[in-house]
Structure 1
Amino acid sequence: MNYPALAERTAVVTGAASGIGAATARLLAAHGARVALLARRTDRLDGLAAELAAAGGQALAVTADITDPASVDAAVKAVHEAYGQVDLVVNNAGVMLPNPLADGRIDEWTRMIDTNLTGALRVIRAFTPDLTAAAADGRTADLVNVSSIASHVLFPDYAVYAATKAAVTQLSAALRTELGPRDVRVSNIEPGLTDTELGGHIDNPVLREQLGGMFNAIPALTSEDIADVISYTVSRPRHVNLRQSIILPTRQA
């Protein structure tokens, strides 16, 4: 699909080193947006930036850790120096570390909360002034938060991950009451089973096997499927906000 409304926009995509983030960056750049790529893996970012530039796009690799406030501040400075004001933020970075709550893996809980929720908040705080200023100038301004169907679908042993994603979904709804009156759109994207690296960090063999079984039973979504939904969402007319999208594989209930 063609998205001419994306031309000349300036976007920040977190978690851009792989999966949904990388696919979204590719699609935004292909349609004329300038894209700042934020993630921790410098080599992946540099490779993606080079790929997008070779295809005629504009991309800036910015190594950043959203769990580190100083790193986020440095990333904002780098983006502003290269591209100026941002009018589109895709808050995509996340981590999924399921295990039974009784295992008491506080380090994993902390990592998920600090990445999926507090990290998202850091990015929102950092770029909200840009979004509100762009909207005040009469331009389209978008904040897209990538959540998960785990925010409302129950999966055993995914309690903490699900809680962080439910928080992102609720945060998005609440932010619409703050930013909507200022003409900044806030959209929440909830993918179902999607083939990304997210499950690669699961160290519990039972849960890893269960997830693999789901992929064997259900033709999963691709990162490109989610990127297409995000691009469609932010290319609507300025007065139209697709507030929440739940995207499932056809065979997933």
Structure 2
Amino acid sequence: MTSYENLTDRTALITGAASGMGEAIARLLGASGARVALLSRRADRLTTLADKIIADGGRALAVPADLTDSASVDAAAARVRAEFGPVDLVVNNAGVMLPNPITDGREDQWQRMIDTNLVGALRVIRTFVPDLVESARAGRTADLVDISSIGAHMVFPNYAVYSATKAALTHLSASLRSELGPQDVRVTNIEPGATQTELTDHLDSAEMVAQLDALFTTTGLLSAEEIADVVGYVTSRPRHVNLRQIVVLPTRQA
């Protein structure tokens, strides 16, 4: 696993940390010397991950939380600050992908994606941006990293609502740079292409699963660890350097 030594003693919060990219990001940051607060709804998996990071010599805290619930996010923030102090690195990674034709009218799925992918990220931003601003004011490096998707700007049939949530997150990241950049808080938006995660486990359509399998067979997949490496790289640059937008694709993906 790649390690970035100048991440030592930073305090990172990672949402969606129970699996996939979030888990890989947490492990990399932990191995690089950061204190890592792990947020997800799956308490058992968070505890297992925290135990692994600690066994490897890192510092980790499992914090079960539901990003669709403001009170849950507030409670998580209080616990993180009590254990680790203010956060100076936030990775908004939690997300859900539920593709279906728009004519299916799956309002339940639309709402779930909006609540998690966009409003959940906003709750995390609202809660932890004061920590980032204070860290930057004290002369420390401060980072907000939003994990979006190439769906934010590429068109895929049946992914209209998912892509809309990711487009909103990408534009939110760009807009926040105008607010936070002048306060020395870096904002980075990362848009992965085809990546091996558990997002496909949420699908309830055999047709959508088959379409993704066909795509992945053609393009190949990035690993979650490769996306984590990108996060480690951008957050370990000198504090006056902001890599604001990164698109990461398998070489064969157009």
- Output the TM-score relative to the length of structure 2: 0.99
After the TM superposition, which residues 69-108 of structure 1 pair with which residues of structure 2 at under 5 Å, given as runs? 69-108=70-109
Q: 1:240 & 1:124 partners in 2: Cα distance? A: 21
- What is the aligned partner in structure 2 of residue 133 from structure 1? 134
Aligned to 2:213: 212
SS of the equivalent of 1:195 reads coil
Q: Is the 8 A contact 2:11 2:87 kept in 1?
A: yes
In structure 2, what residue type is equivalent to 1:41?
A: R
The Cα offsets for residues 42-79 of structure 1, whole Å up to 9 and x where unpaired, read as 00000000000000000000000000000000000000
The residue that corresponds to 1:232 in the other structure is: 233
Partner amino acid for 1:205? Answer: A
After TM superposition, the structure 1 = structure 2 runs for residues 141-220 of structure 1, keeping only pairs within 5 Å, are 141-220=142-221
Q: What per-residue deviation string (whole Å, max 9, x for no partner) do you get for residues 83-138 of structure 1? A: 00100000000000000011100010000000000000000000000000000000
- Percent identity over paired residues: 64
Q: Hey, what does 2:30 align to over in structure 1?
A: 29
Q: Which amino acid aligns with 2:57?
A: G
Q: Which runs of 5+ in 1 are unaligned?
A: none
Tell whether the 8 Å contact from 2:38 to 2:60 is kept in structure 1 after alignment: yes
Q: In structure 1, what is the Cα distance between the partners aligned to 2:220 and 2:52?
A: 28
**One-letter amino acid matched to 1:38:** L
Please tell me whether residue 6 in structure 1 is matched to residue 7 in structure 2: yes
Aligned residues between the structures:
253
Identify which range, 139-148 or 201-210, moves more after superposition: 201-210
Give unpaired runs (5+ residues) of structure 2: none
How many Å separate the matches in 2 of 1:91 and 1:130? 15
Pairing 1:114-133 to 2, within 5 Å after superposition: 114-133=115-134
The separation in 2 between residues aligned to 1:8 and 1:84, in whole angstroms, is: 11
Secondary structure of the structure 2 residue equivalent to 1:36: strand
Following the alignment from structure 2 to structure 1, what is the Cα–Cα distance between the partners of residues 244 and 253? Answer: 22
Any conservation in 1 of the 2:3–2:28 contact (CA below 8 Å)?
Answer: no
Alpha-carbon distance, 1:199 to partner: 1.0
Q: Deviations over 1:197-237 (max 9, x none)?
A: 01111111111100011122222000000000001000000
SS across alignment from 2:100: coil
Compute the RMSD of aligned alpha carbons: 0.6
CA distance in 1, matches of 2:6, 2:175: 27
> 1:61 is matched with which residue?
62
CA contact (8 A) 2:149 2:193 kept: yes
Name the stretch that deviates more: 205-214 or 239-248.
205-214
**Structure 1 residue 2: Cα displacement:** 3.7
Q: Distance in 2 between matches of 1:72 and 1:2?
A: 29
Q: Separation in 2 of the partners of 1:209 and 1:215?
A: 10
Which whole-Å CA distance do the structure 2 matches of 1:91 and 1:2 have between them? Answer: 21
